[in-house]
Structure 1
Amino acid sequence: MTAIAVVHTGPVTVQPIKEQISEQIPEARVINIVDDSLLNDVRAAGHLTPEVASRIHSYMANAQAMRVDIILNACSSVGEAVDSVRNFVSTPIVKIDEAMAEEASSIGRRIGVLATVSSTLEPTVRLVKKKAGDLGRTVEVTERIAEGAFEALLSGDSARHDEILKSTISTLAEQVDVVVLAQVSMARLVPQLEGVRVPVLSSPRSGVAALKRALGNGI
């Protein structure tokens, strides 16, 4: 049986990724590694810290010790830590947002990146620009924070969270060719955005599809 370890920085990414793996790789055994202090520490510092990167390294080394076939990093805020981890952990690692960033770069020149926390916004913007560069494309990125949405989600007011996001997405969509949702927690809104004039991309489906491709390629 295929074994997948998923490293989470909070509980909100567990269910949407679990659903996508169940749909796309139903035969897989999933091991969730969750440390909800990671994202809190990144948010408090305003950026990825060496201490958080070290803990990500440790969790992925532990995942390798479990003899999993592949590791999925579920959080964009700590995605850049994975680049160094790959030098020390031989088990293949997929970032949840890499496929999304590449798809966005191929769709249009004007890319909107939306997040509810700044610690996720900046690394996602850098990833989009990197993927565009890899494709030989020049892009213009418009960054946007959905103010108050993350706080609403933490307080349990998901309706308010969704209302803020949908309003922000609609406004951003008028200025760009494609909108990138920088956090897994935002993905459930996509089915409610049919009236938006440009594609709105989220990471769980495309990230797990990339995971499936990696497994299918023999890694």
Structure 2
Amino acid sequence: MADTLAFLHTAQVHVQTFGNLAREVAPELRVQHVVMEELLADARRLGIDNASLVTRVHEAMRDAASDGAAVVVCTCSTIGGIAEKTATGGAFAALRIDRAMADRAVRNGPRVLIVGAVESTIDPTLSLVLSAARQAGVGIRASTLLVEDAWVHFQSGDTARYVATLAESIRAAADATDVIVLAQASMAPVTALLADLGVDVLSSPQLGVAHAVAMLRASSKAWASNSTGMSGW
């Protein structure tokens, strides 16, 4: 349906986060969620180039669209690059949540620090940012920061400690950067703790949802226009 937006998540906690964001941006839309935590676990274990994983991510995206969603957004940055390459046959648009963030980051550089709590998300996000810079025709200097000791707190449900651990590590590495990219959607609350840094701290949820809604609304207008044109025959 032209008024339906779907999300593919790899953590149950994201259902509320992205549901709330979608309602804030576009309360008129129908929002659906699919949660497959095993996709991230397998990506970390097998690698994102694993053929079986790639097939399963594509199938999950198509399953998320099966109830008529016009746009499906993968909110996991580790598998987002796989997800956006899903063959849709024109039935829906496949998006990754962090692309809009990457596009913003390269405009605000040139020094871009990419921060992740899971190693498997660093390379995909770095590749995305470098690709966004090439497409924008700008030069950037990208560096990465992996905060490995934070993820265990997210897994245990201790969001406050997860966010605090990330913020502490980022502060220690923020002196030589113009923009900080929070590579995982779960890291979004860190922005509030770093508001005094004097540099842009970007997270993917709000930017990504706004981009998805804009695409959905554009496709809805195109569908309505085509329908009107057809009715005149």
Could you tell me the TM-score, scaled by structure 2's length?
A: 0.88
Query: Identity of aligned pairs, percent?
Result: 32
Instruction: Write out aligned runs for 1:123-202 (5 A).
Output: 123-202=124-203
Deviation at 1:55, TM superposition (A): 1.2
What CA deviation, in whole Å up to 9, does each residue of 1:53-73 have, x standing for no partner?
211111222233311121111
User: SS at 1:85's partner residue?
Assistant: coil
Distance 1:58 1:47 in 2: 15
Higher mean C-alpha displacement, 62-71 vs 74-83: 62-71
Distance 1:216 1:89 in 2: 16
Contact kept in structure 2, 1:172 and 1:179, CA below 8 Å: no
Deviation at 1:205, TM superposition (A): 0.4
Distance 1:113 1:169 in 2: 10
Deviation at 1:89, TM superposition (A): 5.8
User: What is residue 62 of structure 1 aligned with on the other side?
Assistant: 63
Q: State whether structure 2 residue 72 is matched by structure 1 residue 78.
A: no
Q: State whether structure 2 residue 109 is matched by structure 1 residue 108.
A: yes
Instruction: Write out aligned runs for 1:26-65 (5 A).
Output: 26-65=27-66
User: SS at 2:198's partner residue?
Assistant: coil
Distance 1:24 1:83 in 2: 22
Could you tell me the TM-score, scaled by structure 1's length?
A: 0.93
User: What is residue 228 of structure 2 aligned with on the other side?
Assistant: none
Distance 1:211 1:179 in 2: 22
Distance 2:165 2:65 in 1: 39
User: SS at 1:72's partner residue?
Assistant: strand
The count of aligned residue pairs is 219
Distance 2:16 2:190 in 1: 14
Specify the code of the residue in structure 1 equivalent to 2:144. Answer: E
Deviation at 1:100, TM superposition (A): 0.2
Rg larger in 1 or in 2?
Answer: 2
User: SS at 1:165's partner residue?
Assistant: helix
Distance 1:202 1:56 in 2: 23
Distance 2:69 2:85 in 1: 19
Specify the code of the residue in structure 1 equivalent to 2:53. Answer: V
Task: Tell me: CA distance 1:33–1:43, structure 2 relative to 1, closer, same or farther (3 Å).
Answer: same
Contact kept in structure 1, 2:111 and 2:177, CA below 8 Å: yes
User: What is residue 119 of structure 2 aligned with on the other side?
Assistant: 118
Higher mean C-alpha displacement, 132-141 vs 8-17: 8-17
User: SS at 2:122's partner residue?
Assistant: helix
Task: Tell me: CA distance 1:89–1:59, structure 2 relative to 1, closer, same or farther (3 Å).
Answer: farther
Unaligned runs of 5+ in 1: none
Specify the code of the residue in structure 2 equivalent to 1:211. Answer: A
Unaligned runs of 5+ in 2: 221-233
User: SS at 1:114's partner residue?
Assistant: strand
User: SS at 2:134's partner residue?
Assistant: helix
Higher mean C-alpha displacement, 179-188 vs 150-159: 150-159
User: What is residue 206 of structure 1 aligned with on the other side?
Assistant: 207
CA RMSD of aligned residues (A): 1.7
What CA deviation, in whole Å up to 9, does each residue of 1:91-123 have, x standing for no partner?
112211000000000001110000000111110
Contact kept in structure 2, 1:121 and 1:182, CA below 8 Å: yes
Distance 1:88 1:121 in 2: 30
